[in-house]
Amino acid sequence: MSAAEQELGWSSDEMMAVASARALAEATTCFVGIGLPSTAANLARRTTNPGLVLIYESGTIGAKPQVLPLSIGDGELADTADAVVPVPEIFNYWLQAGRCDVGFLGAAQVDRFGNINTTLIGRDGRPDLRLPGAGGAPEIAAHAGKVLITVRHSTRVFVEQLGFVTSVGFGQGDGDRERLGLRGAGPTQVLTDLGVLEPDPDSRELTLTACHPGVTVEQVREATGWPLKVADDVATTPAPTADELGALRELQERTRKAHRAGS
């Protein structure tokens, strides 16, 4: 933790996870990506939404892991699931059919309309930087009732122009999702370690609507690779409660121990 974080008593990553878990308070089902989204969704089950149904693309529906999985196919996801279905079924019958309220995604790059790149990044005079690729994200972004994105805020991530659109948010703006036939509502919140961005209701451009405690609008602007739109009234995210921090730290400590012991 930085000195500022020590003074606050929690880190910006912890604030991001807590804000993300709060965003899942109303959800019934969440199609979960590995990494930050999985941390948030499992924290939600311990804080804001104990009944939340976690769906991982390995086909585990209703997984209730005691520790954060390292991969979407960890044995504990299957052992604790309500049902384990084959991969074609999870994508066709459950995701495509509209049975997932929330899709929770990470990203390598995000643009001002919440489009995501996880495929490759062009570099001047050098071969493109190769990233892992799409995985389940294009169809999660298309079909989930709504999409949450969680990612650390920096100008490397929040870029003016994507060289490759892996998963579509709002395309080039209002009306594009409808034109493309994307049935879900698209990204309704982007939760970072600095604050929260939400699409403008008219233009769909991501707009800063909340800063985390101790973060200024100027800091978020500096960490964004385009002239960031800022809401008239920027809220301050309520700080993590002792319960939220306790649940998150306990989950992460148990995860560290389990993955060390299991290796």
Cβ atoms of 234 and 217 closer than 8 Å: yes
The residue to which tokens 């233009």 are assigned: 203
Q: Would you say 85 or 231 has its CB closer to other proteins? A: 85
In angstroms, what is the minimal distance from the CB of 182 to other proteins? Answer: 6
The residue to which tokens 């490397």 are assigned: 156
**246 lies in the binding site for other proteins (CB under 8 A):** no
Element (H, E) at 143: helix 137-143
Catalytic residue among 57, 139, 205, 244: 57
Identify the residue among 10, 31, 91, 104 touching other proteins (CB under 8 A).
91
Report CA torsion sign: 221, 193, 244, 46. Answer: positive
89 catalytic per annotation: no
The residues facing 110 across adjacent strands are: 116, 158
* Piece in contact with other proteins (CB under 8 A), picked from 20-28, 125-133, 150-158, 240-248: 125-133
**231 lies in the binding site for other proteins (CB under 8 A):** no
Q: What is the distance between the alpha carbons of residues 210 and 53, in angstroms, rounded to a whole number?
A: 27
**225 lies in the binding site for other proteins (CB under 8 A):** no
**59 lies in the binding site for other proteins (CB under 8 A):** yes
Q: Is 62 left (phi over 0), alpha (psi -120 to 50) or beta?
A: left
Q: Would you say 37 or 59 has its CB closer to other proteins? A: 59
Q: Would you say 124 or 233 has its CB closer to other proteins? A: 124
- φ, ψ (nearest 5 deg) of residue 154: -160, 165
Residues that bind other proteins (CB under 8 A): 34-35, 57-60, 69-75, 77-78, 84, 86-88, 91-92, 95-96, 119, 127-139, 142-143, 164-168, 171, 176, 180-183, 259, 262-263
